[in-house]
Amino acid sequence: MSHDSPDAVREEAATAAGAPAATPVLQRARGVAEVAFKLVDGETRLDRLLQDGCCKMRFPRVYDGRPVAVLLNTAGGVTGGDDLRYGVTFAPGTRAVATTQAAERIYRRSAGLGRIATRLVVGDGAEAEWLPQETIVFDRAGLDRHLDIDLAGTARLTAVEQIVLGRTAMGETVRTASAIDRWRIRRDGRLVYADTLRLEGDAAAILAGRATGAGAAAMASLVHAGPGAEGRLEELRALFDRFAGEATGVVAGASAVDGLLVARLLAPGGRPLRDCLISVLENFRGRPVPRVWHC
């Protein structure tokens, strides 16, 4: 006696008749994590915390009065159809850091794009740092990432994002990928920075050109915003002269406009990019990167 479901019987009949079987509906990861910081007696404290699905946050012990929110994706990576959303609010006068527990991995997909959306709200006089570890995009992966930042008044921000194409230390090459990385920064509601990176197709071939990536397999964007940001341009360029260049294989450049300091970095692999960024960030910020960067 058969106990197959009617759907299974129909699928078996269609396959026997030569018709393609229906694509199975796969489970997808969903998650939301939001945190807000407030100022209490001159110290930054946790105000609100929301965690749902695969997105979590942890708060390691710190010793400099600057809380660190560590974002986790318990799904272990991102593939087509996944949807992760993060939010961090820095109330006026607060100082805090948001980072990730490890490198995010964008795995091969069967269909669709994996979406990661992050929103930062930085109040007047606050000092916010968005310092996630690298995002590794594997062959045949799809990523749609959005970073939206709202700054108020004299808010300060230092933010970085990295993309590494495959595990470069293992000699992997990404030949087919779809990646969109979008930044939008507003100050007092006015758009002051808009940038979109789009890779579609053979990523290695696209980045092989001198006008695109000169053969790079890893890249990063670094933005510093706030009063006096433009005046630190030569300081940042000096750090690039010190920690980038032929000895490391990292190419870096910076420019300043409208209260923003914007830098780009290209590297042959994830390790030289990471090492350069750690040295630059620690010297530019005057303190170590979050401890999870070394775990």
Could you give the 3-state DSSP secondary structure of residue 225? strand
* Mean pLDDT of all residues belonging to the chain: 90
Instruction: Kindly indicate the confidence band of residue 9, based on its pLDDT and cuts at 50, 70 and 90.
Output: very low
Binning pLDDT at 50, 70 and 90, where does residue 56 land?
very high
Q: What is the pLDDT of residue 2?
A: 43
Put simply, whether the predicted model's pTM sits higher than 0.85 gets the answer yes
Query: Is pLDDT at 1 greater than 50 in this prediction?
Result: no
The whole-number pLDDT of residue 295 equals: 78
Q: How far is the C-alpha of 175 from the C-alpha of 168, rounded, in Å?
A: 13
Please spell the DSSP secondary structure of 103-168, one letter per residue. -EEE-B-SSS-EEEEEEEEE-TT-EEEEE---EEEPTTEEEEEEEEEEE-TT-EEEEEEEEEES-G
The pLDDT of residue 167 is 83
**In what helix (H) or strand (E) does residue 207 lie, and over which residues does it extend?**
none
Is the pLDDT at 19 greater than 60? The verdict is no
pLDDT digit string, tens, across residues 144-202: 999 999 999 999 999 999 999 988 777 777 888 899 999 999 999 999 999 999 999 88
Closest C-alpha among 170, 161, 164, 177 to residue 268: 164
Q: How confident is the model at residue 24 (pLDDT cuts 50, 70, 90)?
A: low
pLDDT of 12: 54
- How does DSSP classify residue 10? H
User: What is the DSSP pairing of strand 156-165 with strand 218-225?
Assistant: antiparallel
Looking at the predicted structure, is the pLDDT value of residue 46 above 90? yes
Residue 7 pLDDT > 60: no
Rounded Cα distance between 189 and 213, Å, is: 33
Q: Mean of the pLDDT values across residues 205-224? A: 89
Report the pLDDT averaged over residues 29-53: 97
The SS3 of residue 16 is: helix
Cβ within 8 Å of residue 60, ≥6 positions away: 68, 70, 291, 292
Residue closest to 58 by CA, chosen among 71, 48, 46: 71
Residue 72 pLDDT more than 60? yes
pLDDT digits (tens, 9 = 90+) for 230-242: 999 999 999 999 9
